[in-house]
Homo-oligomer: A and B are copies of this chain.
Amino acid sequence: MDPSSNCAAEMAKPAPKDMSHHYSDLTRARKPNSMKLFYKLFTIPGIGNFAGGLPNPQFFPFDTLEAQSAHPTRWTPTPNRPGGDALSSAMASAKVSDHGVKTASHVVVPHDAETPDLAKKIDLATALQYGQASGYPPLASYIRQFTRECLHPNVPYKGGPNVALTVGSTDGFSKVLDVFTNIWIEGKNDIRERPGLLTEIFMYPSILNQARPRGVQICPVEMDEDGMSPYGPGGLEDVLANWNDAKGKRPHLLYTVSMGHNPTSGVLSLERRSELYEICSKYDVIIVEDDPYWYLQYPSAEIEEAKARNKPIPEFKAANTLPKKSGYPFLDSLSPSFLNIDVDGRVVRLDTFSKTVAPGCRLGWVTSTPEICDRIILVAEAGTQQPSGFVQSIIAESIMGPQPEATAAFTSRSPKDRATFTGWKTEGWVRWLAGLRGAYEGRMNTMCSLLEENAYQLKQSTPLRDADADWGVITKTQLYEFDWPRGGMFLWLKVHLEKHPLFGAIGSEGNVINGPALSGALMIFLTHKPQLVLASPGMMFSATPQIAAQRGWSYFRLCFAAETDEMISACSTRFGQGIQRFWRIKKVAEIEALLEEAFPLETDVETNEVEDLTNMGWMGC
């Protein structure tokens, strides 16, 4: 994987194209930091620094930062291909240290590490000091290397990508909007300047919360179970080719969750990526790929789904057929990022530690061309600066640390203590991710197999006029349907509310009991005993109010990540049985009582302000 091993090939690659014509006015106005002279002066040996307005690290009230850190083998991996050997394929030849069965190690970030190498120096004196917006050097350099060599070894442009740290992907997308869109105000700015954002018809609602106040027009693109559709009516090519300038500027920004889509769970194949990329290249569109769930891709889903439904078992196809490998079979088995086919340098990828470590990290990174990363860093300099040194140092120490030869705190420990002091290293980090995939894949399979049990209503009706018969005709109605998630944390379930006995009935005030009404009533009904389950209505994830009103009401998003294993099982059954019970409601008044309880939802639907449902903050994470 060493780029120097193939230097000639690297030099022959095309440089990324200039994307500066897409920059916002604000980004054009930001000037790069002109501190070169000062950086030079700072490093004069023995210089007394009266210039920087920094507190001396002796005044930080923490002498160490420590943690009990899970051993990377805490969770059990699943195979990278059905029938494969889980552990060996996840770990490959990489040795994960000799901890064996230990489940936790004690991690210590000392106040002062002795190494002079800033890329390896992990201590509070540096981590808790002012730093550069490009991030804490040890962590930033680790992330850069991991990103370039392990996650995306096939990036086709010269020099490869760079990274810019963020305080999480919401911040990352906020910075992307800052770089690529002007604020557009209705009635003040020309409609032909209105920026647009291409995205799937069902999408992560926080994006709307970020884009809409800036006047960004959401331009929905049709999708199927895999993700965004390149061709066909409403597909990407269709939307762009038939763009009407009177509605706003033709969009030059596309947002997608391409691995474990939120909310629909699809994973874009390499083939689909190539088709979408070609269209984006033709119409000069920047692709923003937001993939917090990238490592949660489930090879078993397709096969287990077929088994559960007595369908023919499909043949397994490898998701990644690109030439360069990372050397980690787990990583190499995953569907690769758009970055790996990004000839032009038009892909901006968002990554985060929110799902691999914890949301409270508020730590993530952008991967893109060095030029675009520089622009992101300029935004950081004027706002967030760098992520918190507390999280940067403890994650750096957990993965990379310690440097036994250099850390005084380490060498003063007993040999037994020292044995607990091994950082995860990349092997351990990959093993942790593989273990998490295993744990989530198990939960996904549990939820799906239990939901299969209640998908149909079986109804035995006594034949009329035949009093002798002791059995009736059995009718089988599909109440809901779903794909077993190919990735991510969500199951996207379509409820056939149009088959509900009260669909189209007339309410007490002459109103029709329509899909949105039944959806709201069902959501509340499910929270009642004995169901006691809260699911997210599909209207929340609809890119526009029209989509919510026309189609969103059919869907619910079920997350199998938040609850305990026990609750996943219990609630999956309660959910399915709840829908069965909901079908037995025969009185409009019961629906209306539920809607009364869901009043804010109903209001939104009636006033066509479904968008408020999307303004959900962390709910839709």
Contacts and interface: CB of A to CB of B under 8 A. Distances in A.
Interface in A204-233: 209-210, 212-215
A402 to B, nearest CB: 15
Contacts of A598: 37
A54 B562 contact: yes
- Residue of A104, A214, A390 contacting most chain B CB atoms (<10 Å): A390
Contact of A563 (B49, B68, B210): B49
A59 interface: yes
B29 A212 contact: yes
A88 to B, nearest CB: 23
Given A171-B385, A387-B388, A534-B48, A359 B54 contact: yes
A574 interface: yes
Contacts of A585: none
B559 A35 contact: no
Interface stretch (A13-21, A128-136, A195-203, A272-280): A128-136
A536 interface: yes
A360 interface: yes
A486 to B, nearest CB: 17
Interface stretch (A38-46, A316-324, A326-334, A458-466): A38-46
Interface string A361-397: 1110000000000000000011111111111111000
Interface in A297-348: none
A595 interface: no
A615 interface: yes
B559 A53 contact: yes
A131 B361 CA distance: 11
Contact of A130 (B188, B359, B615): B359
Contact of A490 (B25, B53, B129): B53
A46 B566 CA distance: 13
Given A617-B133, A620-B53, A48 B574 contact: yes
A510 interface: no
Given A358-B60, A359-B130, A527 B213 contact: no
Contacts of A96: none
A30 interface: yes
Interface size band for A? 35 or more
A363 to B, nearest CB: 7
Given A50-B571, A63-B68, A355-B55, A171 B29 contact: no
B37 A601 contact: yes
Interface in A521-549: 527, 532-536
Given A388-B387, A615-B33, A534 B67 contact: no
Nearest to A564: B56
A53 B621 contact: yes
A603 to B, nearest CB: 10
Interface string A127-146: 11111110000000000000
A361 B385 contact: no
Contact of A53 (B129, B532, B561, B574): B561
A215 B388 contact: no
A560 interface: yes
Contact of A185 (B25, B174, B527): B25
Interface in A93-107: 104
Contacts of A31: 213, 612, 615
A398 interface: yes
A127 B37 CA distance: 41
Contacts of A383: 170-171, 174, 210, 383-384
16 contacts: A33-B617, A50-B558, A50-B563, A51-B535, A53-B262, A53-B621, A56-B563, A65-B394, A66-B68, A128-B358, A128-B361, A132-B618, A167-B362, A170-B385, A174-B384, A388-B391
Q: 10 closest Cβ contacts across the A-B interface?
A: A360-B389, A48-B571, A128-B360, A128-B358, A388-B388, A174-B383, A66-B66, A29-B213, A130-B618, A63-B68
